[in-house]
A and B are shown apart, each in its own frame.
Chain A
Amino acid sequence: AQSVTQLDSHVSVSEGTPVLLRCNYSSSYSPSLFWYVQHPNKGLQLLLKYTSAATLVKGINGFEAEFKKSETSFHLTKPSAHMSDAAEYFCVVSNQGGKLIFGQGTELSVKP
């Protein structure tokens, strides 16, 4: 069975500093992994997707994630946080039937 664990329920950074949101996954086969972002009172927006091509995946708004099979991790990073990045972020794994399994989410706060 597939699962994801987001290691932090809340992360707070200052504007202009790096962002690191951690995610570990469990999968019995080579997984597809995603990061989605949800701004307050909005739907979920796809940030980036990994599907066994390049291990470093670049997404929208300057975010990227690196797939590390040896560590079963798919951490999300951004070099410099912006106030508009404040939102909830979900790490997601897909099972073979195309169903998405969501992590519990990490709330990112950005301080001025």
Chain B
Amino acid sequence: DAGVIQSPRHEVTEMGQEVTLRCKPISGHNSLFWYRQTMMRGLELLIYFNNNVPIDDSGMPEDRFSAKMPNASFSTLKIQPSEPRDSAVYFCASSLRAGEETQYFGPGTRLLVL
């Protein structure tokens, strides 16, 4: 298996632009998680899905952030408009099923907003 796939791996954009991060979970996994990692705040869970349905988005920082999972093999995290404080590494992870605790992480997308 190829593992969790994220794209792009690096993104540099200017403040105010829309940013879309993409994730393909491991085939057969039914839960998907989006995390953000910064030096100041460490790893934070932003949102997670079970069977393509958003379950908990309490970690989404504000309305500029949105996430979708249109099918079992694809999810997006969108920031519109982006701000310099959104600069971070964004990780996607998947697990086999709801409540299954072992999560498998993608390589991350390193976002820099100028």
Q: Which residues on A are within 8 Å of B, measured CB to CB?
A: 32, 34, 36, 41-46, 49, 51, 90, 94, 97-100, 102-105
| Range of interface residues on B (Cβ < 8 Å) | 20 to 34
Q: How many whole Å from B29's CB to the nearest CB in chain A?
A: 12
Q: Which residues on B are within 8 Å of A, measured CB to CB?
A: 4, 31, 33, 42-43, 45, 48, 56, 91, 93, 95, 98-108, 110
Q: Across the interface, do A90 and B45 meet the contact criterion of CB distance under 8 Å?
A: no
Residue of A nearest to B108 (CB): A43
- The dominant DSSP class at the B interface is strand
Task: Choose among A43, A90, A103, A105 the residue with the greatest number of B CB atoms under 10 Å from its CB.
Answer: A43
Q: How many whole Å from B61's CB to the nearest CB in chain A?
A: 17
Q: Across the interface, do A43 and B107 meet the contact criterion of CB distance under 8 Å?
A: yes
Interchain CB contact (< 8 A) of A98 among B4, B43, B98, B110: B98
Q: How many whole Å from B96's CB to the nearest CB in chain A?
A: 10
